[in-house]
Amino acid sequence: MDPESKRAEKETLYSLFARVGQALANPHRLELLDLLSQAPRTVEELAREAHMSVANTSQHLQRLKQARLVVSQREGTRIRYALASPQVARLWQTLRQVAEAEMAEVQAALDAYRDRRHEFQQIALPELQRRLQEGDLLLLDVRPQVEYAAGHIPGARSLPLEELEQRLAELPEDLPVVAYCRGRYCVFADQALALLAERGRPVARLEEGVWEWRQAGYPVETGA
């Protein structure tokens, strides 16, 4: 094959890679990927979580689908979306890690978003696993119920953030509380721990989410 044809084939290859990059080059689409890394959702559910219109959400999902990053399934009059593969979640995780390592602005933005993140003791994954086995702490998953059902740390109790204040009486008073949500870029656990700390409860935060827990080789449970 002549060099001109080889060059054209190489450019086709890189243009396909660029399609993925172009799909990622939008903050709204990245948020949709983040939400889908927690659980499959309908367009309406994603729009509500991302504070976007259904029409705008659908357009962004179509761009992600064209890049083969998400897949869809019709359920009656609704369409449910999911990540195309675990590699997409890994890509999203790697993108965040590179940005945090190379851009000082990420830390500043994270501090502004999670303005109370330095107030709480952190617990590492191995220590959490050990203490769950010993039964000397209460682990709260404060994400929405749909995310808990899609996958959660074994032994975690589902208590969505918006229900926490009304259900505090359900929590045993003799155990310290550890909370987690969607990982280090999620504020739900901080807000839950602030509420619990104000009521005198000893608290700690798991910075990692279910994805990182799974990647570390620990088991994940599904179901309500």
Active site residue 186: no
**The tokens of 165 are what?**
């204040």
Distance CA 190, CA 118 (A): 9
User: Residues 181, 189, 196, 204: which is the catalytic one?
Assistant: 181
Rounded Cα gap, residues 91 and 69, in angstroms: 10
CA distance 40 to 35: 8
Judge whether 207 and 183 are in contact, CB under 8 Å.
Answer: yes
Q: Around Cβ 102, how many Cβ atoms within 10 Å?
A: 9
Phi and psi of 26, rounded to 5°? -155, 125
H or E element at residue 165: none
**Amino acid type, 216:** A
> In angstroms, rounded to a whole number, what is the distance separating the alpha carbons of residues 167 and 163?
6
Which residue, chain included where needed, has tokens 């990647």? Answer: 215
> Both tokens of residue 74?
């019709």
Angle, CA of 84, 88 and 30, to the nearest 5°: 105
Residue 113's CB is within 10 A of a number of other CB atoms, namely 12
Catalytic residues: 181
